Amino acid sequence: QIPVVANGEIWTVADELRCREVSGCATLMLGRGMVADPGLARAIRAADAGRPGSDTVAWSDLLAHVAAFWQLVCEDLEPRQRAGRLKQWLNLLRRRFPEAEAAYQHVRTMTDQRAITAWVEALGAGD
């Protein structure tokens, strides 16, 4: 009678299946798994509908979101916090996207907002 939501360490569709099997819950909460793979919920829905692997998000689909995220970070956070927040997200994205590894390695030592902005703009342009 009481709705129960399972969460914790759901990074992939396989994790989702294991969680449902172990917990018996029909409802899940996705946290860091969604940050690391913004298409995780779509992939889970596709797998639940019998179409595993049919609804994935490509790295190129995320580039506009990375730029929008950086813009929000620059508007909302103190200058000393901005680069770190972008690096945190890129670090998590490395779990799912090989391209994020190269992006993270490129930006990990950067601190200058103008340089990072130029890099983000070039990333979206495909440079």
Evaluate whether 28 touches 45 at the Cβ level (below 8 Å). Answer: no
| CA–CA gap between residue 40 and residue 123 (Å, rounded) | 23
Per residue in 68-82, pLDDT (tens digit) is 999 999 999 999 999
| CA–CA gap between residue 114 and residue 25 (Å, rounded) | 47
Residue 1 makes CB contacts below 8 A (sequence gap 6+) with: none
Give the pLDDT score at 43: 93
| CA–CA gap between residue 38 and residue 72 (Å, rounded) | 17
The pTM score is: 0.86
Token pair listed for 119? 């890099």
Per residue in 48-67, pLDDT (tens digit) is 898 887 778 999 999 999 99
